[in-house]
A and B are shown apart, each in its own frame.
Chain A
């Protein structure tokens, strides 16, 4: 049996090396994706997001407020307007993401204790930009409050610590575990790149099996008679596993060595990568077993692969989805890989914490067995439909 597997693997390696489409899917796509996402989000946390100030007060104090806001790394004041509707039009056209509004007589009313209202408007159509600006503007408002309190309080002879405590009695010291820079690329690229890998694995698995029917080479690949097709499948898929593992290591290299993204248990992550690749291949075999025609199976692989990005919950958490979708998420290898990544790479948890997800990835190996019989039959009997 080892001999058969070896022979088929040798044949498959030849096919993989000759087919341009395989080179594209296995190496070029991960390369392009790494290049794209890692350079796209190179900044990590967007800086200098354009905002506008509507300063109706126009005093030294209000201008000082704008200057403080501008000094924040995340914010850049690109325009000053004397009227709010002008600023809103700019926002509508997407030139600015936020408006800082200082009302008329702001300084005067502050001193008089009339509690004027400082407003900030963010455009939450762009959620990332909107929430980042919100944070900066909120901080400036707190600082402004602090400045006024210090000024008036000192005049009354109160201690500075006392005054700070009056403005903000409880300070919050945040520890974003594993990603102290709040780097968006850390949280997006790690999963997007692997999601693209699983998409490509499923496509290539389905294609490399289905193409044998189209090219009428089933005879060369499958054993004749009633012999099991498992050795033939193994021989076909093992070279692909190796190539995809190399591609995966390339992705790891760019993430963890080139970009220095945080990773704690790298060995456990490599294990997860391998299981993740094999699980995706198993799903690919399952898909071509379900659907007799290559194009249909391929379409399904694509739909499934694209859906994985959303249901994995790395942007919008699974906990917040409807319960049936939460259950469905378990059927996606990317979901389990993501949870392992959170434990092993980000939070430095023990191997035992992620054990269920390693097991789940292994369990995907059983998926092809369900459709194996049908696959064998259809490979031998259903011709390629033109």
Chain B
């Protein structure tokens, strides 16, 4: 167990070292939430002039409604590409180097997932700051914001794990990208990230109701729009449980990575 944590730490260390070295990537990380909140937020701000819409959103401020959605989307889009690092590592032989070393196999995905969670956390912090600057009020207070950041990290962990598990079988970046995009776009737009489920047409509503993204946003949105409630705990526990399942899955996949 101890060795697994230490090994994961050094796998994550490598990823984060490179992440913070990539200046362009860091700048994009900061700019992206600005764009989302400014463009989308402005475009939709008139919506809340309509009292009916405001009631549907649960808040008189569209930005407040949208902020958790933006957090989730940003985290999702960065962590889901975590698997590309494995495809690269395989391409230039680094994966073999890791597999030939006496590290725990599971440390490879766990380290990369942890690095992704740290990146997700960083992005979520930036979005929260930008949202506060635009006048978004988090109803659950400072502790609620911490809870939102925690949930964002957990989600990042899940999505990175999902992507890493896929990357073991998918040998090219292009294929991995295609597979990911196939899932990502519908998951994103058929969810409550940007619009409340209530305003959707029936068919889209049906999809949104079985979309895991919808359920991932609910606790974050509740913390932002309406404040603390007991079901936030249940949702968080459910997300934690999925985290555990994803960890078991990736561990299994990487253990069998040498099976051929």
**Chain A bound to chain B:** no
Binding site for B on A (CB under 8 A): none
